[in-house]
Structure 1
Amino acid sequence: MSDLAALVGVTKVTVSRALNAPELVSVDTLERVQAAVRQTGYTPDLIAGSLASTRSDLIVALIPAMAGTVFQETVESLTTELAAAGYQLLIGQSGYDESREDALLDAVIGRRPAGIVLTGVVHSQSARQKLHACGIPVVETWDLTSEPIDMLVGFSHEQVGKAVAKFMKKRGARRPAVVTPSDRRAQARTKAFLEAFGKTKTSAAIPVVTVESPANLGDGRRALKELLDTNADIDAVFCGADILALGVLMEADCQGIAVPGRLRVIGYGDLNFAKDTTPPLTTMRVDGTRIGSLAATMLVECIENRAGNEQMVDVGFSLIEREST
């Protein structure tokens, strides 16, 4: 900033005002400072600025995976809503390993962002203690708990599983199977589905194939092969992710299995390809855009000491029925 001031021929205070409160300087001075910024490639030191002002404009969001996931709508909504309020969003990829998330949280808390958005609820006691103690506003998303750390926007994965079981029974399924990712939230949906569906027509246990999170299309194809090798009479498959359901549909087509005539398939997520599969995929949809918007609003209101309406919001979910069932 001293270099800029010398280049323009003004004080550091004037440069600071031009960068942070341009309405306080003349148009001529502002243009000269902006020209100097372009000439020198100067970028303000945001860490120093936040230390001086005791206020950060950075929000950190941790998501399990970056690409091709149900979280994309939430990230886009967070980015848009926070930018409109004058905040910048930094994304961290936490994966599905709880210990990795704890280590990433340590790094995040140490940098003192204005707020933190988490995917899922925090189960690690040490992480909960740190988040409680740090004083940074926190929003947990994409899950429900009776004991949130601070604020929460989500839905019940257990209720999703129960809703799928009820729908599958209504559609005439008698020998269902499950293909599920290994993460905690997917496992909660699976457990609820199994309990809600109950015993099959043959009283045999409902077969479940679990794949590593994040799942991919090939996992779905291999899972259906495995299921058919050991349970050739299955008539429905609940997939814990749309990408798995896409793999199941492709493998069924490869093996000449009619969907939904011989096999009903339902996914989770309503990703952008779900309506364009063959046949179009029935799936469970969660409004990720609303989750992001609510999380951003809650954070900004908390950071700026404005009274918010709710600290916990259940956004629910919806069944998108298409031709695959």
Structure 2
Amino acid sequence: MADVARMAGVSLTTVSRSYREPHAVSGKIRQRISDAAQALAYVPNVMAGSLAAKRSRTVAVVVPTLNNSVFALMLEELSGVLNRQGYQAMVASSDYSPDREEDLVKSLLSWSPAGIVLVGRHHSRGTLRLLVEDGLPVVEVGEFLEGAIDSNIGFSHRDVGRRVARHFASSGIRHLGLALVALPGDHRAEDRGQGFRDVARDEGLHLEEFLLQERASSKAGAAAFADLMSRPQRPQAIFFSNDMLCLGALFEAGRRGIRIPDELKLCGYGDFDFSAEASPSLSSVRPPDREIGRQAGELLLQRFRGEGAPVSINLGFEHIIRASG
């Protein structure tokens, strides 16, 4: 804080007041303090009386969205493991934005969390700098990484796409369809799509794609299905980057009198509760969400006790083939 005060040309008291009582400091001075703090990578500790060396009994968790059961299951298991040992999870959503994630990480670090959990491998340089300088245990989840910040638990999303495409190819399919949510920042969905494309190219299969610029929903899945099935070369099998999309496609197939799987095979991702109960039941890929949350929590607790070391764990996934093909 003293360094920030010197760079901003104000007193230590003014810096402190700008964070505690921002209304009591002019906008011009607050901006100078903010610029100095950013240049110095200063993160104010808003926990009254705490020291830099002390940690709270909280774990910061930043997920891309709370509107997805994949992350909900992971959070439920992670919170359960932490709660049993007296720790609490502080959860925030970045809305798939690296800049938003950086702002959240900076804010959460000010509460001196014992550790932090992030989803995926794509983070801003500012986020990486903050985490390295803070030195707290970090677990990146949802993807299997080379060169993780600290520890990593996940699986290969590209292998998911490859597995589904190879299954279709082994069934004699020559014309594939891909319905992919292409929201900026959703790198895991893009990786699944790229794995699917890789096999289509290597096997010489025809591929039609439909990219969605919106959240996954049954309505969006129906629209993607209608578009793909209107192409001159209609797919014989379609892979959807989310089970909600696949469900919407199933509804649209019924409206159009297209028999699943006789005329067309479908596969989604996520293995949501409805997938096994749909008629016909939907093939899907089941990610190890609960196991990721459980192991992330246990790994952090080990680190809090001063045990263990950074690790990278590949949990794999399940390709569940049901009546839809």
Q: What is the TM-score of this pair, normalised by structure 1?
A: 0.80
Q: 1:55 to 1:236 in 2, by over 3 A?
A: same
Structure 2 CA distance for partners of 1:270 and 1:143, relative to 1, 3 Å: same
Letter of the 1:175 counterpart: H
Distance 1:298 1:109 in 2: 19
Letter in 1 for 2:278: T
Following the alignment from structure 1 to structure 2, what is the Cα–Cα distance between the partners of residues 199 and 220?
Answer: 27
Separation of aligned partners in 1, 2:72 and 2:272 = 9
CA distance in 1, matches of 2:113, 2:155: 26
Name the counterpart of 1:18: none
Distance 2:138 2:52 in 1: 23
Shift of 1:50: 5.0
Seen in structure 2, the aligned counterparts of structure 1 residues 213 and 51 have a Cα distance that, compared at 3 Å, is: farther
1:197 corresponds to: 200
The amino acid across from 1:165 in the alignment is A
Matches within 5 A, 1:1-325: 47-48=47-48, 51=51, 54-182=54-182, 183-198=186-201, 204=206, 206-212=207-213, 214-231=215-232, 233-307=234-308, 311-325=311-325
| Per-residue deviation, residues 210-250 of structure 1 (Å, max 9, x unmatched) | 11353122110111111122245211100011111111111
Gaps of 5+ in 2: 1-45
Identity across aligned pairs (percent)?
31
AA of the residue aligned to 1:188: D
CA distance in 2, matches of 1:120, 1:274: 25
Rounded to whole Å, the distance in 2 between the matches of 1:52 and 1:108 is 14
Q: Kindly state the Cα deviation for residue 52 of structure 1 after the two structures are TM-superposed.
A: 9.7
Query: 2:11 corresponds to which residue?
Result: none
**Change in 2 beyond 3 A, CA 1:97/1:213:** farther
**Counterpart residue type for residue 260 of structure 2:** V
CA distance in 1 between counterparts of 2:55 and 2:235 reads 58
Classify the secondary structure of the residue corresponding to 1:313.
Answer: strand
Alignment-mate amino acid for residue 271 of structure 1:
F
TM-score, scaled to structure 2: 0.80
Q: Tell me if structure 1 keeps the 8 A contact 2:54–2:112.
A: no
Contact 1:122–1:128 (8 Å) recurs in 2: no
- Could you tell me whether the CA contact under 8 Å between 1:161 and 1:193 is conserved in 2? yes
Per the alignment, in what secondary structure is the counterpart of residue 268 of structure 2? Answer: strand
> Offset at 1:53?
8.7
Q: Tell me by how many angstroms 1:199 deviates.
A: 6.7
Larger gyration radius, structure 1 or structure 2: 1
Tell which deviates more after alignment, 254-263 or 206-215.
Answer: 206-215
Aligned 8 A contact 1:96 1:213 in 2: no
The Cα of 1:304 is off from its aligned counterpart by 2.0
Secondary structure in 2 matching 1:234:
coil
Aligned-pair CA distance for 1:85: 1.3
For residues 200 and 159 of structure 1, the distance between their equivalents in structure 2, rounded to whole angstroms, comes to 16
| DSSP 3-state at the match of 1:136 | coil
* Cα distance in 1 for residues equivalent to 2:167 and 2:203: 15
Deviates more, 1:210-219 or 1:293-302: 210-219
CA apart distance, 1:300: 1.1
Shift of 1:193: 0.8
| Counterparts of 2:126 and 2:85, CA distance in 1 | 32
Gaps of 5+ in 1: 1-45
* Cα distance, 1:260 vs structure 2: 0.4
For the Cα contact (< 8 Å) 1:283–1:321, is it kept in 2? Answer: yes
Deviation at 1:49, TM superposition (A): 6.8
Displacement of 1:51: 4.7
What is the rounded CA distance, in whole Å, between the counterparts of 2:274 and 2:102 in structure 1? 33
Q: Across the two proteins, how many residue pairs are aligned to each other?
A: 277
Counterparts in 2 of 1:304 and 1:213: CA distance versus 1, 3 Å: farther
What amino acid is the match of 1:210? Answer: L
Q: Is the 8 A contact 1:57 1:88 kept in 2?
A: yes
Q: Is the 8 A contact 2:228 2:234 kept in 1?
A: no
| C-alpha distance 139-199 of structure 1, shift in aligned 2 (>3 A) | closer
**Aligned-pair CA distance for 1:145:** 1.7
Matches of 1:58 and 1:213 in 2, distance apart?
A: 33
